[in-house]
A and B are shown apart, each in its own frame.
Chain A
Amino acid sequence: MQKIITTIILLAVATPAHAMHISEGILPFNWAALWFAVAVPFVALGVKRLNALAKDDLSFKPLVGLMAAVVFIISCMPVPVPTAGTCSHPCGTGVAAILVGPFVSILITAVALLIQALFLSHGGLTTWGADIVSMGVVGSFAGWFAFRGLRMAGASLGVAGFAAGLMTDWATYFTTSVELASGIRGDAPFWPLFWKILIAFIPTQLPLGILEGAMTAGMVVLLYKKRPDLLVKMRVLKAEEVAA
């Protein structure tokens, strides 16, 4: 009974907005440094991939910059979350991972997070590494694997897009819980705090994942209907799939 009531209290006090970003100053130095060290190689690989692609196509860097602006805007757009009775914000990284691949998507996320940290106080410089790992690395790869895996299994664009959005959001939220619990636990054991944080995220993140999935699916289907050439250019579809 006590556990049930504790769960209800945690659900009632869930953080409503920008739950994906770990706030500036929340992680102690050793954890901030660790997550930064984990994030750096992925961002470096993203830059390497960007430079390789930009050699063949001069418009690729401006395109990635504009994609970063789109991810920034999408992650600032309020989406109503029915269960929490409030608004929350999608990640937008699943979309980027589908279109430009996971490594460039990590770079895009890092840029969007830096601008949000500097000028909106969403996230921060000390938690930049942790936020890149959760939203960029885990979110992008989860979305990309879900999309590619389902497409290879023969799923439609809409279904694969939905799964990509959903997995991006939920994987990010799971990783954020790990990072928060490990960072703020102090001397307390990890698992109890981890479960409490995970439960506290449920009212917003569970429905938000579904909403983000629907949004990603809608967006991919719109691109297919209106501008299939872009999906071919970004190697999301083969030319013969569009012709068919």
Chain B
Amino acid sequence: MRLNTQYGHSHPLTALDPRVKLLSALALLVMVISSRGFAFPLLVAGLSLALCLGMGVPLRVIAVRFAEPHFIAFMVVFLKLFFSGHVPLFSFSLFGLDLIGHRDGLLEGLLIASRIAGAVSAMALLGFATSFTELMAALAWLKVPRGFIEVALFAWRYLFVLFDDAQVIYCTQKNRLGYVGYRRGLRSFGTLAGALIIKAFDSSQSITTAMVQRGYDGTMPLLKHKPFRGAEVALSMTFIFCMGVIWNI
């Protein structure tokens, strides 16, 4: 598992206040999913991808990240082309079945596909330009409940520790032919999941003991935000306003 975290540490976008980035991304997402044409989502996709490349995100990372959403986009276009719409565009015969592609179905499918491309690109840009801790602090500022934020921070902190443990167990099982055949593979996978749960329980006890010794009283400290910088807010508002105008055309 490779989690694509922050890139481009010296890029101006990375230095931007995480609250400004989060609000701008949310505004863009709303505009993308409520757009009525292909142009706006594709513009957002192009802009976001250009910024990702500008931040130094390797093309391979972008390709891997976009593989699944784009496959889903392809599936949606396929479903809408052949199983939706009324105006025939083309037809062909496959194993005796007459398949008819519909023009209006294709257009609807392409609209959804463009929205997927735009929204995924905007989210990827946010993920590449912001660290998880900053995002959580921004969500806390947006009044997302503290309990949720704390659980997310614990999950993020111990995700990598547990993943390393899972990899060690998996490799050991594999070396002992634990995944030869479906039946044995399933038993091994169940054991792996159970072992992870046991590790999670035991770790939670030791983590709590260590944290209580350091003053933990049931609440986690979060990043403190600096005051908003006027230039950043003005720039992002101008950007959102311009995008809003383009969206409305």
Contacts and interface: CB of A to CB of B under 8 A. Distances in A.
Interface of A: 1-2, 5-6, 9, 13, 15, 17-18, 23-29, 32, 43-44, 47, 50-51, 54-55, 58-59, 61-70, 72-74, 76-77, 79-80, 82, 92, 95, 99, 107-108, 110-112, 114-115, 117-122, 124-126, 184-186, 188, 192-193, 196-197, 200, 211, 214-223, 226-227, 230
Contact of A61 (B3, B158, B182, B218): B218
Interface stretch (B9-17, B27-35, B221-229, B235-243): B27-35
23 contacts: A18-B68, A23-B69, A24-B69, A25-B32, A25-B33, A25-B117, A27-B33, A43-B148, A44-B145, A58-B217, A62-B208, A65-B155, A66-B154, A67-B200, A69-B163, A70-B193, A110-B148, A114-B152, A125-B29, A126-B119, A193-B84, A200-B75, A221-B190
Interface in B175-203: 182, 185-187, 189-198, 200-201, 203
A24 B123 CA distance: 8
A23 B151 contact: no
B244 interface: no
Contact of B116 (A24, A107, A196): A24
Contact of A119 (B3, B117, B217): B3
Interface residues of B, number: 88
A5 B95 contact: yes
Given A82-B182, A126-B119, A29 B30 contact: yes
Contacts of A111: 148, 151-152, 155
A23 B216 CA distance: 38
A77 B126 CA distance: 25
A182 B73 CA distance: 16
Interface in B200-220: 200-201, 203-205, 207-208, 211-212, 216-218
Nearest to A225: B194
B84 to A, nearest CB: 5
B115 A26 contact: yes
Instruction: In the A-B complex, list the 5 residue pairs whose CB atoms are closest, starting with the nearest.
Output: A218-B190, A65-B154, A25-B119, A222-B194, A63-B204
B234 interface: no
B186 A211 contact: yes
A25 B212 contact: no
Contact of A26 (B72, B154, B197, B204): B72
A76 B1 contact: yes
